[in-house]
Chain A
């Protein structure tokens, strides 16, 4: 049955894409197309845009991305454990406790080092 489940997911993705594209097709048929150079300028609240969009931005965005990856991987490990830990008993719980405590130390370290500050 598993394969059928994923067939549904695939079909939903394809049909969803087509149905989302349908209004775009209607627009293509209905809407006017009058191209003026001013119209296709980058919008900057009505003034002539200056400089590039690829300006420097805060490195913190990247830092948060890195921390996120670490913790997301951890969370992925939690999902299977959450389902079977009843059967595995006390041992599995203690093991997960150790794993989580190590990760919390990691979070505390990042916190202490100021990686979670936005300034």
Chain B
């Protein structure tokens, strides 16, 4: 097929702008508000309430406030790396979304998936982009030239690389059953109510949820930013909008993980009656709610507990599960 390059570039730029605006609004702005509201309900307080109706505009007000804040680069910091680190984290959080299929639309008899690009290595691409965050976090912690930031960055690096392996084992087990790495293909491989991989791949689902929580540095795995011991970890030196970019990257990453959990385990856009896009959003927000629920319920782990869980429990379990899946498919299925 002939490819018209200028047209494709224009389409890509348009899609990128729409996609990133969507994520900044749905994931970051709504996400932060949701987090504070849910946190409020769980802790029997009200949460944000005064800006806009029921506090709906709280994040908008916060963003406007942050836009007026001065950027401070400490004398001790390595200015170039210090300034580019938030950008790396934000972009890494946004790039994940290229392979997430939001739904399907029917155009003239053909069914087109609503995905930016259905890459044939979709899941691997997602894993690669998600782990790019660690570069930004480590760079931020290192360049701040602050003891706590450096410690936070190191902790984050060791945590994220430790949990990347169990995450990968869960992804591989799903890819084995679906027979493809393409995210659209994986959704299509899940047929009917009980065809979701959340059932047949239940151990992988559990491993994925735990590892995903750790990958996005959320409680109970929030050691990198443990406010009570490291001030704020890798971003304590960051002010104003640069701090907000770290937050944006983090929330984009969290929502991307929820979207991937929906895609891989919960049947993606599939569901009765409602349009596919709505089903996708319902499932994604359900996973997001689950992540927030854990955040406001559990205390923080110690570093040794965290590493033990990854290396001594999740990784062996993931490898054994891969072998079991392989065995079942090779010898039991016809």
- What is A's interface to B at a CB cutoff of 8 Å? 1-5, 7-9, 11-13, 15-17, 19-21, 23-24, 26-28, 30-34, 39-45, 49, 51, 53-55, 57, 60-61, 64-65, 67-68, 71-72, 75, 78-79, 82-83, 85-86, 89-90, 93, 96-97, 100, 103-104, 107, 111, 116-119
- The reply to whether the CB of B3 lies closer than 8 angstroms to some CB of chain A is yes
What residues of B have a CB within 8 angstroms of the CB of A24 in the complex?
A: 71, 241-242, 245
- B98–A8 contact, CB under 8 A? yes
Interface stretch of the complex, out of B36-44, B86-94, B207-215, B264-272? B86-94
What residues of A have a CB within 8 angstroms of the CB of B75 in the complex?
A: 40-42
- A82–B165 contact, CB under 8 A? no
- B15–A16 contact, CB under 8 A? no
- The reply to whether the CB of B17 lies closer than 8 angstroms to some CB of chain A is yes
What residues of B have a CB within 8 angstroms of the CB of A78 in the complex?
A: 168-169, 172, 322
- B304–A53 contact, CB under 8 A? no
Q: Could you show 18 A-B contacts with beta carbons less than 8 Å apart?
A: A7-B8, A12-B16, A13-B91, A19-B16, A20-B248, A24-B241, A24-B245, A31-B67, A31-B69, A31-B240, A53-B145, A53-B146, A61-B158, A65-B157, A67-B311, A68-B161, A72-B165, A93-B330
- A118–B91 contact, CB under 8 A? no
Can you name 20 extra interface pairs (CB under 8 A) apart from A19-B24, A23-B245, A27-B69? A3-B3, A7-B9, A13-B91, A15-B20, A16-B16, A19-B20, A27-B67, A28-B71, A40-B74, A43-B146, A54-B150, A65-B161, A68-B161, A71-B315, A78-B172, A79-B175, A82-B176, A96-B323, A104-B319, A107-B315
Distance in angstroms between the alpha carbons of A97 and B326 in the assembled complex: 9
- The reply to whether the CB of B72 lies closer than 8 angstroms to some CB of chain A is yes
Q: From residue A28, how far is it (CB to closest CB) to chain B in Å?
A: 8
> Could you say which of B1, B67, B304 contacts A119, with CB atoms under 8 Å apart?
B304
What residues of A have a CB within 8 angstroms of the CB of B94 in the complex?
A: 12, 16, 20
What residues of B have a CB within 8 angstroms of the CB of A31 in the complex?
A: 67-71, 240
- B316–A107 contact, CB under 8 A? yes
- The reply to whether the CB of B225 lies closer than 8 angstroms to some CB of chain A is no
Select the residue from A15, A86, A90 with max chain B CB neighbours within 10 A. A15
What residues of B have a CB within 8 angstroms of the CB of A85 in the complex?
A: 176, 326, 329-330
Q: A24-B242, A43-B237 are in contact. Are A100 and B150 (CB under 8 A)?
A: no
> Which bucket holds chain B's interface residue count?
35 or more
Q: A15-B17, A17-B91, A43-B146 are in contact. Are A27 and B71 (CB under 8 A)?
A: yes
> Could you say which of A16, A20, A21, A53 contacts B76, with CB atoms under 8 Å apart?
A53
What residues of B have a CB within 8 angstroms of the CB of A57 in the complex?
A: 150-151, 154
- The reply to whether the CB of B81 lies closer than 8 angstroms to some CB of chain A is no
Q: A31-B69, A82-B176 are in contact. Are A42 and B76 (CB under 8 A)?
A: yes
Report the nearest A residue to B319, measured CB to CB: A100
Q: A11-B9, A30-B67 are in contact. Are A61 and B172 (CB under 8 A)?
A: no
- A83–B13 contact, CB under 8 A? no
Q: A12-B12, A57-B150 are in contact. Are A97 and B311 (CB under 8 A)?
A: no
What residues of B have a CB within 8 angstroms of the CB of A61 in the complex?
A: 154, 157-158
Q: From residue B96, how far is it (CB to closest CB) to chain A in Å?
A: 10
- The reply to whether the CB of B162 lies closer than 8 angstroms to some CB of chain A is yes
- A41–B74 contact, CB under 8 A? yes
> Could you say which of A4, A90, A118 contacts B331, with CB atoms under 8 Å apart?
A90
Report the nearest A residue to B333, measured CB to CB: A86
- The reply to whether the CB of B106 lies closer than 8 angstroms to some CB of chain A is no
- A116–B311 contact, CB under 8 A? yes
Q: A11-B12, A75-B172, A85-B326 are in contact. Are A30 and B90 (CB under 8 A)?
A: no
- The reply to whether the CB of B300 lies closer than 8 angstroms to some CB of chain A is no
